[in-house]
Amino acid sequence: MESVEIYPEKMDNGRMLEQINFNFSVNYDCEVGRGINLIH
């Protein structure tokens, strides 16, 4: 894992993680990349 971005405060939906970045390619939600954006 390269980095993890965390919101300063818990969101209304209970989520705290914003984004996860990896040192390798990952397949997430039918897309290939080096990060997972959790803002959906």
Which structural domain range is residue 28 located in?
A: 3-37
Measured CA to CA, the distance from residue 31 to residue 28 in angstroms comes to 5
Look up the pTM and report it: 0.60
Q: What is the model's pLDDT at position 12? A: 92
Number of structural domains (the chain) is 1
Which SS3 state, helix, strand or coil, does residue 19 take? strand
- Which tens digits make up the pLDDT trace of 3-38? 999 999 998 989 899 888 888 888 877 888 887 776
